[in-house]
Structure 1
Amino acid sequence: MELPEVVSRSEWLVARKKFLQEEKEFTKRRDELNANRRRLPMVQVEQDYVFTGPDGSIRLVDLFQGRLQLVVYHFMFQPEWDAGCPNCSGFADDIGHLNGLTDRATTFAAISRAPYEKIAAFKQRMGWTFPWYSSAGTTFNYDFGVTLDDSVVPFEYNYRTKREWDQLSGSEFSQTEQPFDLHGMSCFLRTDDAVHHTYSTYGRGCDSLGFSGNVIDLTALGRQEPWEQPSGRTTGLGAPAGDPSITHRETEEHCH
């Protein structure tokens, strides 16, 4: 194992301060990127998708649970599997209490193609509590680019066609038997009963999303704090960080 160089405290401090400038530049660029994401236009979702959950059928607009925004994790769980994707399961293990999202008018849910009975059994086995629905019998997964099947919709993943993927070195998509699922995350904004698609990310775009702040950064409304750009998306839409109305529930599990 190759370890970092051992230096004196003063030498370390020089290196750390130099690196701090890179971190500050990255933070500034990330804030600009998040602001540009919030400036993206949105598309109205015309199809009235109906999913299956613990209480039976449920429409896409009802997944919001009355809130303004919905963040969907496209969890890889194909109908013939008895368990979800191990990598997606690793992501799910990082999901704790969702009040960091719900306090900002945002609901989180996972959606998979597997039948709900399999989802419910696997979810119970893993000890997860986040909402998770089945899209079986709908084209939701196909329409949002996480189930690839040319017989249903033209092949596209992460905004590249099959031909574009085949031109990339190391791509195995052309050899993979269809249909097959991949992971991603999609964001939606509700105005009354109209649902709008604001953003989707795939592949490594999900790498750093194991925290509420990073997830909320993907949405059109953002963290809903006064310093964010574009302005005008805070009043009445959610509580800013530090607001006394936010109740961060602490449980015994959080203390161990």
Structure 2
Amino acid sequence: MTLPEIVSREEWTAARTALLEREKELTRARDALSADRRRLPMVEIGKDYRFDDGRAGLLDLFEGRRQLIVGHFMFDPEWDEGCPSCTAGADEVSDGLRLHLASRDVTLAYVSRAPLAKIERYKAARGWTFPWYSSHGSDFNYDFHVTLDPAVAPVEYNFRAEDLTGEAPGLSCFVRDGERLFHTYSQYARGAEWTGGSYAFLDLTALGRQEEWEEPKGRSDVGRGAVPIFDA
């Protein structure tokens, strides 16, 4: 095993300060990218997707809030347990994270194609409290390209044709205007690696963090009075 070079405190501070400038550049570039993400157009959802054996529709997943983030959890109906990688990510979803998202009018939920009974059994075994819905029997997973089956639809993953089949990970964002529902964003593959913490999730949404410094202006009143992050 190798370790970093040992230097004086003065040399370390100089190197750290130089790296900080690059970190600031990345932060500003990420802010610009997030602003462009919020400028993306959106697509109205016209299909009546049903969840939990028909007891819930997509609107119900919002739980009355303005925006919805759906984690596409890989859980094939034939499997007895969920995907290990998705499980590791779900382990990091705390009640505190969901409360912070809810304070900005955002609901975080998971959706899998496994039957509801399997989901509830696995969820209880893991001790999870977040909402997790079954899309079993629905087109939802196929339409959002996280269940890949050429017999059902042309295979597309991460916005390109792929020679893949089966379940795949992803995350999708939605916003509602009354009862009209819109798809604003989806990410797949390594795009989902950095989502952790409420700001990272909020940066994916059409309304963003809802803080006054963000571009474009005027997306929401929810964040007014919220404590802003430090300047980049």
Give the letter aligned to residue 241 of structure 1.
A
CA distance in 2 between counterparts of 1:157 and 1:145 reads: 6
The one of 155, 168, 171 equivalent to 1:182 is 168
Give the letter aligned to residue 78 of structure 2.
E
Question: Are the equivalent residues in 2 in contact too, given 1:223–1:240 (CA < 8 A)?
Answer: no
Partner residue in 2 for 1:52: 52
How far the C-alpha of 1:242 sits from its partner, in A, is 2.5
**2:106 is equivalent to residue 106 of structure 1:** yes
Secondary structure at the counterpart of residue 183 of structure 2: strand
Partner residue in 2 for 1:218: 204
Alignment of 1:1-256 (within 5 A): 1-52=1-52, 57-97=55-95, 98-162=98-162, 173=164, 178=165, 180-235=166-221, 237-238=222-223, 241-242=226-227
Secondary structure at the counterpart of residue 187 of structure 1: strand
1:71-102, CA deviations, whole angstroms, 9 ceiling, x for partnerless residues?
A: 00000000011111010011001101211110
Give the letter aligned to residue 122 of structure 2.
F
How far the C-alpha of 1:17 sits from its partner, in A, is 0.5
Give the unaligned 5+ runs of structure 1: 167-172, 244-256
Q: Which runs of 4+ in 1 moved over 2 A?
A: 237-243
CA distance in 2 between counterparts of 1:145 and 1:238 reads: 32
How many residue pairs are counted as aligned between the two chains?
226
How far the C-alpha of 1:241 sits from its partner, in A, is 3.1
Question: Are the equivalent residues in 2 in contact too, given 1:116–1:133 (CA < 8 A)?
Answer: yes
CA distance in 2 between counterparts of 1:140 and 1:186 reads: 11
How far the C-alpha of 1:211 sits from its partner, in A, is 1.1
TM-score (norm 1): 0.86
CA-atom RMSD in angstroms: 1.4
How far the C-alpha of 1:212 sits from its partner, in A, is 1.1
Give the letter aligned to residue 3 of structure 2.
L
Give the unaligned 5+ runs of structure 2: none
